[in-house]
Structure 1
Amino acid sequence: MTGGNDAPGGAGRTSGPEEASRPDGSPGPRRSGLRDPQRAVRGLGAGTLALEALVLLLALQPIRMVGGDLGGAAIGVVVALAVAAVGLAGMMRRPWAWHAGTALQGLLLLSGLLHWSLFVLGVIFALVWAYAWHVRRVILG
C-alpha cells in the first residue's frame, strides 16, 4: 500500500512548497499553500494595524497613571494615529496602503518626542510591521 498517492504519473501526489512544479514537470515558483495568498497578506496587515490602534487607545490611561505628562495635544496625536491605523486597516486592498502603514510607524516613533512610552510602542510596532512586510515578501514573492 502506498498511502493514497498511487495515481499514475504522480497526478495524486501532493507536493510541498519546495517541490511545486508545472504540468510539464519543470520546477515552478514556490507556492505558499494558501488558497488566496493576497487575501491572507491583506488580513495580516489589517490585523496588525487594528491591533496597533487598540493598543494605542488602551495605552493612554496607563501612561497618565504612571506619571506621564500627556497634554491635550499628545492625546490628540495618539487618537489621530489610532484613527489612521483603523482607516489604513480598512484600505489594505490599495497598493499604497503598505507604504502608508510604514509611514504610520515612523509617525508613531516620532510621537515618542511627546512621551518615552510612545517611542517604546513605536519600536515594538515598527518591528511587528517589519515582520509583516517580511511575511508579505515571502508569501507573495
Structure 2
Amino acid sequence: MSAATEEPEPQEDGRTFRGAQGLPTPPPEVRDPWKGLRGVMAGTLVLEFIVFGLALPVVWQLGAGVSSIGFIVVAALAVLNLLAAFVQRRPWGLWVALALQAGLIACFIVHPAIGLMGLIFAGIWGYMLYLRRDVAKRMREGRLADQLGHPPGHPPQE
C-alpha cells in the first residue's frame, strides 16, 4: 500500500492528521469541512477563468493594447485556472492554484489592468488560506459545530 492511500495514524487523543500538510482528518460522524473549502477554491478558479477571459478583449483594445504574446500568455493562464479547478482535491492542487496567482500578478508586464486583477484575486486567495488555517485550528481544538455535538447554525440545547 502506498503512503498516499494509507489511513492516517490516530494521535493519543484520537485525532488524526493526513498528508504532508498536516491537516486534521474529521471523525466519521463529522462532515468534512475540507470538501466545502475545496469547492470554494475550485469555484474561485472558475471565476478567475471567466474574469480574465472577459478582460482580455477589453485590454486588447485599451490604449496601446496587449501584444499577441501577452494575449497568449494571459489566455493560457486563464485556461490553466479552469483546469486547476478540477485538481483541488489533490494535495498539490492548492499549490498549483497559488502558482497561477503568482503568474497572473506577473502579468503586470503584459498590461497593468491584468496584473491588478491578479493582485485582487491573490488577496482573495490570501483570505482563503486564512480560513483554511482557522478551520484546521478549530478542528484540532474540537470547536467545529459538528464536533460539538449539535447541528451547525443551531445552538446547543440546555
**Which runs of structure 1 show a deviation greater than 6 angstroms over 4 or more consecutive aligned residues?**
none
Structure 1: how far apart are the matches of 2:78 and 2:115?
A: 15
Out of 73, 77, 80, the position equivalent to 2:76 is 80
Structure 1: how far apart are the matches of 2:64 and 2:123?
A: 24
Out of 35, 41, 46, the position equivalent to 2:42 is 46
Match of 2:125 in 1: 129
- Which structure is larger by alpha-carbon Rg, 1 or 2? 1
Match of 1:89 in 2: 85
Query: For structure 1, which runs of at least 5 residues remain unmatched after alignment?
Result: 1-21, 23-28
Which has the larger share of helix? 1
Q: Is structure 2 residue 48 aligned with structure 1 residue 57?
A: no
Indicate conservation of the 8 Å contact 1:81/1:104, yes or no.
Answer: yes
- Please tell me the root mean square deviation across aligned C-alpha atoms, in Å: 2.0
Indicate conservation of the 8 Å contact 1:38/1:140, yes or no.
Answer: no
Structure 2: how far apart are the matches of 1:95 and 1:104?
A: 16
For the residue of structure 2 that corresponds to 1:95, the secondary structure is coil
**TM-score scaled to structure 2, two decimals?**
0.65
**TM-score scaled to structure 1, two decimals?**
0.72
CA shift for structure 1 position 119: 1.1
Higher relative contact order (CA 8 A, sep 6+): 1
